Copies of this chain bind each other. A is one copy, B any other.
Amino acid sequence: MNSQYAVAVHILSMISTFPDQSSSSDIADSVGTNPVVIRNVTGQLRRAGLLSTQRGVAGASLTRPPAQITLLDVYRAVNGEASVFRLHEHPHPQCPVGANIQATLERRFGQAQTAMEQELARATLADVMSDLALQDLAARAG
């Protein structure tokens, strides 16, 4: 998997934290990359219906409260339905193992993927915001 997912969560956190200071350039400074990278990921989040932007106007805004955006929503926005597991491509169709291994792996891997996604669905952007605040507090205290 690429790091777009992590960037996407970062972007949404920035928009939540600094609603009036979240141009692609502002966010890029916080993420540590180029504004174009931000605009590309923002585009995926927009197409997934998680935020809205306006061409020519700086910033973006969430389409619903952070508590109603799960980490699975964000995951789907950047990864779609793709699996984290990959199958091998040319198993031998005349071999009892080769002929059936892909269907078997697809099912077993799918169950593992589903378990992962259910866990992602349990956490929202609001939870992440809370994590960030608590960690920031701890960092300043320590």
Contacts and interface: CB of A to CB of B under 8 A. Distances in A.
B88 A108 contact: no
Interface in A56-103: 71, 84-92, 95-101, 103
A136 B6 contact: no
A51 interface: no
A42 to B, nearest CB: 15
Nearest to A102: B6
B3 A86 contact: yes
A53 interface: no
Contacts of A126: none
13 contacts: A3-B87, A5-B86, A10-B97, A17-B96, A30-B97, A31-B90, A32-B91, A84-B116, A104-B132, A108-B131, A112-B119, A113-B116, A116-B116
Interface of A: 1-3, 5-7, 9-10, 13-14, 17, 29-33, 71, 84-92, 95-101, 103-105, 107-108, 111-120, 123, 127-128, 131-133, 135-136, 139
